[in-house]
Structure 1
């Protein structure tokens, strides 16, 4: 993931003119205490800045939030990253889209998702939908 994150960062710096496919993100706090947004990386900060609406700073148990992210970098990439904490528990979430070029010049869409727990957290990431226009939906849960 580090290479992909670095490549995404380079694309963000290069700044092309077309938007990548939209990602619809749902975050669900399935714990018993409020989850608090914690921006640590530049990718998390940029996700927060361009999300519509911005992800909630605090998410109550059982109250899902929903937002869209569409980066204006290239029609062939998009990503959303965020991190929430509940006490000492942390979940770092990510999802990416990349149009891969295979040998022979064949292109293939690739969607990824990650959920990285620490401090005893339980985190999940599931891609719940991919569409013909390459947009997708992902659901992140934390406990």
Structure 2
């Protein structure tokens, strides 16, 4: 009985540590500003892992002039998080990314850093904007494509 209780206590402690290690939450909005449907296309391992941990999942098809919202929170470290997604419209493609990293500065000072990228190909117009950051380091980013 004692071993069973210790096992349960150990499992709960490990789960609590895992929750404590989660990075800051990112809310991602993808806006299709084009005239045709945008289709999710997973190419890289980072895009695949984003899809796997997103809640809800990014929509696989986003109609013209609509958007989709998803959230990503990775349980790697409290000091990092990232979301990567790629959408296509015919021959146009936009690869988007956003990251958070707590950087260690000289003197042991920690400094938060958020990034965003939008990489077009095939004549696409892509934009990425960080729309807000919070005291808990969570952030919101908007990706748009046309």
Shared fold by TM > 0.5?
A: yes
**Partners of 1:106 and 1:92 in 2: CA distance:** 33
* Poorly superposed stretches of 4+, deviation over 6 Å: none
Tell me which residue corresponds to 1:59: 62
In the alignment, structure 2 segments of 5+ residues that lack a partner are 1-16
Please point out which of 17, 23, 36 is paired with 2:26.
23
Tell me, what secondary structure is at the counterpart of 1:49? helix
1:124 corresponds to 2:123: no
Tell me which residue corresponds to 1:113: 116
Structure with larger Rg: 2
- Count of aligned positions: 128
Question: What does residue range 1-143 of structure 1 map to in structure 2 within 5 Å?
Answer: 17=18, 18-143=21-146
In the alignment, structure 1 segments of 5+ residues that lack a partner are 1-15
How far does the alpha carbon of each residue in 1:38-76 deviate from its partner, in whole angstroms, 9 at most, with x for none? 000000000001100000010001111001000000000
